[in-house]
Every structure is written in structure tokens, then in C-alpha cells.
Copies of this chain bind each other. A is one copy, B any other.
């Protein structure tokens, strides 16, 4: 087990060392550790080596000049200047929140960014302002649209955070596919089969091989097959792609610059990085925050107190599991796999800074 403080110190050191400002390095630490605390290890410390390798390949700019390209009272497009996604994303979400303060809502589409960590971090930034927060991003092209074998979309997550009163906030944060890429990697490492409905092979046949992505296979959209609504998952993934990249001018669909080794960087001159989309809606732009939160508490209790199906213990409200993890890990510390500790310590040694305490 590691303490939040020690890991924060370690991550901050790494990103300061590659040239980030202390404030930006703290943002990276905060977003990665938010994933670790919430139990989404696939988006935590595990990503440090990806970011480090992209920085070494000069695909991440540690000192980006992030600019507003265009804006109206409720919207903006931001160019992230190839910065770390967490740094660019936080700035974009803060701008959405500022706009919501003035005209009720704020919507910011982002180009020239990189992988931003967990989408939920940004949507949750809105909560303390009594706003609903929305965030989404496109990602490595590994998902085939319904009826196709071409990998044209990412797992393109959507996160929505909604304030409540006495109850903890509602926080949904989910990929628009049945399974996230990181979880397939984990199945492969553990020598497990993937359930049918997660992936297909390069010809579009159903597959149970969690490693099929390295052989031209694809993740399926949420729904799995057409009969079970995969075209709806395809709609969701493509809406995220268009809001994140066509609105901002970032790389869309197959042109999202890949961050996994088995996807080649495609030749296209004008690709402007990864795209994100953020939204903030002030609750009292609709009804008083007091009224809304009272109703939201009722909503949450209605769902949490619903009758469990046979064999199930309880019904969950989106965010329950992650919040439980967060509370426990804040007390007990954060478990990090020994192999991962070794890997990030190697990077620290390469950079000439101290290892994890």
C-alpha cells in the first residue's frame, strides 16, 4: 500500500522533470491518482510510461501554450498545443464552468490534446459549483462500427456528474463499448478468454481472444451485435467522436493519433491530435439548486432502494462503487502492482529522480 501523498510527490517529480510546470505536474498527479483512488487502475499509474514514451517521441509538449481558437458566450474551441490531456482537459473544463457562470451553460471542444485520464475527473469538477459536468473524448481507433471490420472509433467514454443534496453525487463514467481496452489486456495477461460480445476477429467473426486487437481484430460497440443494439453503441461512440473532433478540428475516428504500440501512426499531414468535449450546466439555470438537490436525493434513494433481482445483493447508483473505493483507499492507502512499481521506478531512475516511497 502506498500513501496518496507519496504517490503524488512521485508523479509530480516525474512530470516536473520532463519539463512540466509544478502546477501542471500536480494536475497530472491529481487526475492519475483520482483514477487509482476510484479503483480505475487502467487509467492511473499504469499510464505514466505511455505518457513518458509519447514525450520522448516528441508527441507530448510539456510546456504547451493552450489557446482559445474561437468562442461565443456559451462555447469555445481550445487548441491544446500537444499538451498532456489532463492539463489541457482541466483548462477546458474550467472554461466551460466560467461560461456556465455567466450564461447558464458552457461547452468546450478541444483539439491538439492527448489521452486525458479518466473522463469522470473533469465532469466531477463541476459538482462543487452546483453544476452538472459532462466530459467525453475520442481515443485509439480500435472499435469497428456495426457491420464493419475497419477500426474507426475509440472506446470513446462519456462521463456525467450530477450534484445531489444529502446523498453523494451521481457520477456515471463509461466507455461506449462493452469493455475497455485496458480490461482486455488484463484478461490476456491472466490467460482468460473474453466473453462473446466483446471483440471480433479481423474478418468480423465473433472471437473470445482478448489479444485479438494485436491481430487486426476490433472491440465491438456497446450492444455487441446488431440484434442486441450495437448500432446504438456505434451511434454513441460516433457522437463522442464528432463532438470531440469534428467540432474542434482534432483527429477524428481512424485519425486519432494512437498511443498503443501495435497501432501505427498514420500518414496524414493535418491531424490535430486527440479531441475532447466538455460541458457544464448550472443547476440554477433550470431550477433552484435547493429544489433540484432535494429531488435528486429522492431520485437516488428510489434507485438505491430498488428491489434486487434474485441472487443480487443491492442495486447501485452510478458512482457508488468508485466512491466506496475512494473512501477506503484514502484511509488504507493505494495498492500498486509490484511490476508496475518496478516499471515506473525505472523511469524515475532514467530521469535521475527518487523512486516511489
Contact = CB atoms under 8 A, between A and B. Distances in A.
B235 A174 contact: yes
Interface residues of A, number: 85
A40 interface: no
A341 interface: no
A222 B227 contact: no
Interface of A: 69-70, 72-75, 77, 102-105, 107, 109, 144-150, 152, 160, 162, 170, 172, 174-179, 195, 197-198, 200, 203-205, 222-224, 227-229, 231-236, 238-239, 241-242, 246-249, 252-254, 281-283, 285-287, 291-292, 295-296, 299, 302-303, 306-312, 314-316, 318
A292 B229 CA distance: 29
B307 A148 contact: yes
Contacts of A107: 104-105, 281
A228 B195 contact: yes
8 contacts: A75-B104, A75-B105, A104-B107, A195-B227, A204-B309, A247-B287, A247-B292, A253-B302
Given A229-B222, A232-B175, A235-B174, A104 B74 contact: yes
A299 B316 CA distance: 37
